[in-house]
């Protein structure tokens, strides 16, 4: 059971903290120009962050207690390939579709 | 390419983000259900969703509280999950930093992974886009995601039925981030950055409090930038 006090302390501070993180650069820099070296690195934020989030979830899924699961690996690969070739929506469909189909078969 | 008015840009953003409803609906419902299972009431569940709007951090914080972790540990761990958004914030400055302070604050509150990925891709593909259109596009993206996130958290929390574990909705999260990554892989440096990120996070999985993500992302950004510089130097040499 989570105590009410713990919950509200956590939620309010997490809300404020998360906002400050999101606002950080937008708030401070605003319309000022950023240095060239920063812009160079910032072009890669998306491709630098997203694989760091999904890779462990694919390779060591919490649902299998970290055991490698060929079904999840295959489904992830399908989503990635379709995402590269086609677009976002088919990537999601291919990923989840492959996942459910393979699990149904095996 | 045709000139985008602010109004058109808004609706373009709205449509471009539409595919993510497929993920946002089950994921937000799952949060509602999990929150109720953890003993939160409807008001608490919705307060958390509205104050934080960051799914991964909300799940993390809740799981840690349930495990009786100290509040400040739960807080720091969840904030570390969100640190990536400081990078999004920086990456958005050249595009929407010109907006008024209050508008920037609202954009910050609404910042989520999907909208960030979709916006940055569009901004880079359309360098001719006017500043006002870029802001409108950003809000278009969020106007779709945000109401769905709130309302389906509510549905999940209200219905409160446990979603069968056999559906494995947990797998929707990595699929979502894979789907975000695919369209961003447009050049060799992007591939290098993504690869470094994936390998680095496995090497730095031991780093506590989810900070491995920041380590991996930093290494990946440097790799991408250095690859770009290398390719530029090589092209310059070839031309000379």
B88 to each of A76, B83, B108, B115, how far by Cα in Å?
A: 24, 9, 10, 10
**Angle, alpha carbons B35-B59-A48 (nearest 5°):** 160
ipTM: 0.87
- Report the alpha-carbon distance of residue B85 to residue B82 in Å, rounded: 6
Q: Which residues of A62-71 are buried (b: 16+ CB within 10 A; e: fewer)?
A: eeeeeeebeb
Tell me which residue in A17, A24, A82 faces B79 most closely, judged by beta carbons.
Answer: A17
> Quick one: which of B178, B16, B29 has its CA closest to A96?
B178
Which of A24, A63, A88, A93 to mutate to test binding with chain B, by most B CBs within 10 Å of its CB? A88
- Share above pLDDT 70 across residues of chain A, in percent, rounded to a whole number: 99
B43 and A CB contact within 8 Å? no
Which of B171, B201, B211, B224 to mutate to test binding with chain A, by most A CBs within 10 Å of its CB? B171
Which residues on chain A are in Cβ contact (under 8 Å) with B145? none
Q: Hey, are the CB atoms on B65 and A59 less than 8 Å from each other?
A: no
Which of B24, B27, B61, B182 to mutate to test binding with chain A, by most A CBs within 10 Å of its CB? B182
Tell me which residue in B44, B109, B189 faces A44 most closely, judged by beta carbons.
Answer: B189
Q: Which phi and psi (to 5°) does residue B212 adopt?
A: -55, -35
Query: pTM, whole model, 2 decimals?
Result: 0.86
DSSP states of chain B:
-PPPPHHHHHHHHHHHHGGGHHHHHHHHHHHHHHHHHTT--HHHHHHHHHHH--HHHHHHHHHHHHTT--HHHHHHHHHHHHTHHHHHHHHHHHHHTTS-HHHHHHHHHT--HHHHHHHHHHHHH-TT--HHHHHHHHHHHHHHHHHHHHHHHHHHHHH-PPPPGGG-GGGHHHHHHHHHHGGG--SHHHHHHHHHHHHHHHHTTTSGGGTHHHHHHHHHHHHHHHHHHHHHHHHHHHH-
Q: Hey, are the CB atoms on B228 and A54 less than 8 Å from each other?
A: no
- Report the alpha-carbon distance of residue B102 to residue B142 in Å, rounded: 16
Q: Hey, are the CB atoms on B179 and A25 less than 8 Å from each other?
A: no
Question: Chain B: residue nearest A47 by CA?
Answer: B194
B30 and A CB contact within 8 Å? no
B182 and A CB contact within 8 Å? yes
Query: pLDDT for A66-75, tens place per residue?
Result: 888 899 999 9
DSSP states of A27-88:
HHHTTSPPPHHHHHHHTTHHHHHHHHHHHHHHHS-GGGTT---HHHHHHHHHHHHHHHHS-H
Question: Chain B: residue nearest A13 by CA?
Answer: B75
Distance of CA B82 to the CA centre of its chain: 9
- Report the alpha-carbon distance of residue B188 to residue B177 in Å, rounded: 20
Q: Hey, are the CB atoms on B90 and A99 less than 8 Å from each other?
A: no
B6 to each of B9, B11, B128, how far by Cα in Å?
A: 5, 9, 13
Identify the helix (H) or strand (E) that includes residue A2: none
Question: pLDDT (tens digit, 0 to 9) for every residue of chain B, 240 residues total?
Answer: 456 788 899 999 999 999 888 888 888 888 898 888 888 999 999 999 999 998 888 988 888 888 888 888 889 888 988 988 999 999 999 999 999 999 999 999 999 988 898 999 899 888 889 999 999 999 999 888 899 999 999 998 988 766 676 777 778 888 888 988 988 898 999 999 999 999 999 999 888 877 888 899 999 999 999 999 999 999 888 876
């Amino acid at each position: 059971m989570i105590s009410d006090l713990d919950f509200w302390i956590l939620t309010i501070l997490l809300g404020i903290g998360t906002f400050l993180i999101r606002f950080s650069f937008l708030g401070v820099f605003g319309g000022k120009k950023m240095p060239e070296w920063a812009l160079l690195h910032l072009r890669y934020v998306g491709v630098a962050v997203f694989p760091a989030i999904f890779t462990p979830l694919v390779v060591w899924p919490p649902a299998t207690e970290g055991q490698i699961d060929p079904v999840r690996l295959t489904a992830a690969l399908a989503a990635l390939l379709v995402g590269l070739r086609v677009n976002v929506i088919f990537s999601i469909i291919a990923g989840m579709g492959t996942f459910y189909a393979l699990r149904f078969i095996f | 390419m045709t000139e985008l008015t602010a109004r058109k840009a808004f609706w373009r953003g709205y449509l471009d983000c539409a595919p993510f409803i497929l993920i946002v609906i089950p994921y937000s419902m799952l949060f509602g259900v999990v929150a109720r299972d953890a003993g939160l009431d409807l008001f608490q569940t919705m307060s958390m969703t509205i104050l934080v709007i960051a799914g991964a951090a909300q799940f993390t914080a809740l799981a840690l509280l349930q495990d009786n972790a100290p509040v400040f540990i739960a807080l720091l761990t969840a904030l570390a999950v969100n640190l990536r958004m400081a990078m999004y914030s920086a990456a958005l400055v050249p595009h929407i930093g010109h907006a008024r302070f209050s508008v920037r604050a609202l954009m910050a509150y609404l910042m989520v992974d999907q909208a960030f990925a979709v916006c940055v891709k569009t901004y880079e593909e359309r360098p001719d886009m006017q500043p006002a259109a870029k802001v409108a596009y950003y809000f278009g993206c969020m106007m779709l995601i945000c109401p769905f996130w709130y309302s389906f958290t509510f549905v999940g929390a209200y219905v409160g039925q446990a979603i069968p574990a056999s559906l494995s909705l947990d797998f929707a999260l990595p699929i979502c981030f894979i789907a975000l990554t695919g369209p961003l892989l447009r050049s060799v440096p992007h591939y290098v950055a993504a690869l470094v990120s994936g390998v680095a996070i496995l090497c730095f999985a031991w780093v506590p409090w989810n900070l491995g993500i920041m380590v991996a992302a930093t290494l990946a950004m440097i790799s991408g930038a250095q690859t770009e510089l290398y390719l530029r130097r090589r092209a310059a040499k070839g031309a000379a």
